[in-house]
Structure 1
Amino acid sequence: MQPAITGTFLDEITHDIPSQNWDDRAWEADFAAMKQAGIDTVILIRAGYKEQATFNSQILQQHIGILPVYTDLVELFLTLAAKYNMTFYFGTYDSGNYWLNGDYQTETDLNKAFCEEFITRYGNHQGFGGWYISHEINTYNDGMMRVYEDLSHHLKQLRDVPILISPYIKGIKQFGQTAISLDKHIKEWESVFARLEGIVDIVAFQDGNVPYQDLPHYLQANQTLASKYRLTSWSNVESFDRDFPFKFPPIDFRKLRYKIEQAEAANIDKLITFEFSHFMSPHSSYPAAQNLYQQYQQWISRR
């Protein structure tokens, strides 16, 4: 079997898709399914968002006032990652407030303390192998460049492991008439990568915001830019469908296969997805995800 997708986000805390209300045993069953599908990398999409957190953070309790945390998901995910021989990327905290309102320094300082707390509590786990800066951008933003720069330097001092970002394209599927052209996208990300060279290690653009016929051009442009500025290029192959009037069903397998094939044709280094557990898992609450898993497994077994 030649797996195509070898990494997935773990979407807790959920933001715009529903919780599946899994307990520890359900999560372990899903990690086993991920392993069967060829997943070797799991990325916590955010360790906290607004007043929710994945572990009982004293930093967030002090500065934000988080809701009770009944299950330590970070401990659970790190333990399962080690058991199934996966690399775990720790996703940072998204205030949903400070950085969006221009207070970039508060966002950075809060995350520095939060990530220090993570290292103190979980740094000895063998599964931990990367950082994920959860703040997503689609064009050049000087304030966010300062967040990335300052926070990345601090993260490397805490533990010198790869730093991943997963930006999105300001494409027509999400932005309509305010979407930008491919040429503008290239210009914007030339400016971003010029600032992030040597600071961020991996970029995994989300692939769902542009029409399918335009995707190969964006994939090639992203790969070329990343190579120019010495970033490793991954692709975030979205396994949910943006073409429906509601958020968000599992994607049609034919669309998923097309996106995988185009990413491979562009020589992308690694394919990850948002996100296996909801949209591709045999244990998902969506029956269509269970069917997608079967079709995907049948396909990769023939590759």
Structure 2
Amino acid sequence: MKITGTFLDEITHDIPSQNWGPQEWARDFDAMRAVGIDTVILIRAGYRNRSTFDSEVLQSHRPMIPAYNDLVALFLEEAARCDMDFYFGTYDAGTFWDEGDYAEEVAINKAFCHEVVERYGAADAFAGWYICHEINTYDDEQMRLYEELATHLRALKNVPILMSPYMKGVKQFGEDAMAFDEHASTWKTVFERLEGLVDVVAFQDGNVPLHDLPRYLDVNHELAEAHGIQCWSNVESFDRDVRIQFPPIDFRKLRYKIEQAAAAAVEKIITFEFSHFMSPHSTFPSARTLHDRYRNWINTPTA
């Protein structure tokens, strides 16, 4: 298997902006297509007071910084040109979700996504929704957000709905990390609530030690499949193991994670994210060499 999907992160939060315009984005879509990427996922359409297009709904909610360029239209156009599926990521207000006011987060997103469908819903490349609100455990109020938002999105445009949760592992949570058995039982409960609402789950793979990753991949796939949910793997292409946050990953780790995801029989491998951490055009020099190592590997015949 190889990476066939990537997130697009242009409302940057914890990684640097590359300040690309239409020409640079077109060049990067060509680079994605050249390595077999057929799916792009907007990680979020807006965050706090920034958005990927000038949304009347968001402007009515809070003062917003002008978008200047309509990135959603640009990404849909490039996805269509490159014969890719585009998944639209929802809005993160950056306050209500963090503070537990999930009802307000849902209300804003319902109005916002209605506006999105009116503007972009007929685009040929618009192939799915991505609920950008990340979870790592069972929480009843968060489940209500997923239930309400997924139901609303399905009514607006009936296309697959993707989520990409993170595992509550030791790399991020240390002593507060969730043990493997608790992870399995917790996600069984989550999927029982989300069955029939979410179509695809792509767990972020970077929070557990590499030697533990195979059993997490196996149980994630087993639980998702048992509840009729496709299981992809979000193979992170940035490195959580070094002191600087966040550089492109060592290729040997990336290859190992891809091989383990393939061994777990996931349906698709995506990454966060190509343009910053794997692109030949990235602001990171080591992303360019990671691209070379990866491209050499996928193009080398195996015995």
With the shorter chain as reference, the TM-score category is: over 0.9
Between the aligned partners of 2:174 and 2:83, the Cα distance in structure 1 is: 42
Q: Read off the aligned partner of 1:7 and give its amino acid letter.
A: G
2:242 matched residue in structure 1? 244
Q: Which of 251, 254, 261 is equivalent to 1:253?
A: 251
- Alignment correspondent of 1:95: 93
2:231 alignment counterpart: 233
Residues 27-42 of structure 1: matches in 2 within 5 Å? 27-42=25-40
2:143 matched to which residue of 1? 145
What does the per-residue CA deviation read over 1:61-112, in whole Å, with 9 as the maximum and x for residues that have no partner? 0012211111110000000000000000000000111122121111001001
- The residue identity in structure 2 corresponding to 1:130 is G
Partner Cα distance (2:83, 2:226) in 1: 32
Q: How far apart in 1 are the matches of 2:22 and 2:130?
A: 23
Aligned residues: 301
Where has structure 1 moved over 3 Å in runs of 4 or more?
Answer: none
Matched residue SS, 1:213: helix
- The CA deviation string for residues 250-281 of structure 1, in whole angstroms up to 9 with x for no partner, is 00100000000000000000000000000000
Q: Which residue of 2 aligns with 1:182?
A: 180
User: What secondary structure does 1:203 align onto?
Assistant: strand
1:42 positional shift? 0.1
Counterpart in the other structure of 1:119: 117
Determine the C-alpha separation between the residues in 1 that align with 2:211 and 2:143: 31
Counterpart residue identity of residue 62, structure 1? S
**Distance in 1 of aligned mates of 2:237 and 2:81:** 25
Return the match for 2:7 from 1, 9, 13: 9
Q: Percentage identity across aligned positions?
A: 61
Equivalent position SS for 2:270: strand
Matches within 5 A, 1:270-285: 270-285=268-283
Distance (Å, rounded) in 2 between the aligned partners of 1:161 and 1:65:
31
- The residue type equivalent to 2:72 in the other structure is V
Match in the other structure for 1:59: 57
Q: Which amino acid in the other structure matches residue 137 of structure 2?
A: T
- 1:56 partner SS: coil
Aligned residue in 1 for 2:72:
74
Give the secondary structure class of the aligned counterpart of 2:191: helix
TM-score, length basis structure 2: 0.98
> Unaligned 5+ residue runs, structure 2?
none
Is 1:224 the counterpart of 2:222 in the alignment? yes
Aligned twin of 2:297: 299
The residue number in structure 2 matching 1:263 is 261
Match of 1:201 among 196, 199, 207: 199
Q: Distance in 2 between matches of 1:25 and 1:148?
A: 36
Superposed CA deviations along residues 28-78 of structure 1, whole A, max 9, x for unmatched, are 000000000100000000000011100000000001221111111000000
What do residues 196-219 of structure 1 show as CA deviations (whole Å, max 9, x unaligned)? 000000000000000000000100
Letter in 2 for 1:243: D
State the Cα distance separating 1:124 from its structure 2 match: 1.4
SS of the residue 2:237 aligns to: coil
- Distance in 2 (alpha carbons) for counterparts of 1:182 and 1:104: 28
Give distance in 1, aligned partners of 2:257 and 2:125.
Answer: 29
Instruction: Kindly indicate whether residue 21 of structure 2 is the aligned counterpart of residue 23 of structure 1.
Output: yes
Alignment correspondent of 1:131: 129
- What per-residue deviation string (whole Å, max 9, x for no partner) do you get for residues 135-155 of structure 1? 001000111100000010110
SS in 1 for 2:211: coil
2:231 counterpart SS class: strand
| Secondary structure of the corresponding residue to residue 210 of structure 2 | coil
Whole-angstrom CA distance in 1 between matches of 2:142 and 2:282: 35
The amino acid of 1:285's aligned partner reads T
Report the secondary structure of 1:238's partner residue. Answer: coil
Paired AA for residue 204 in structure 1: A
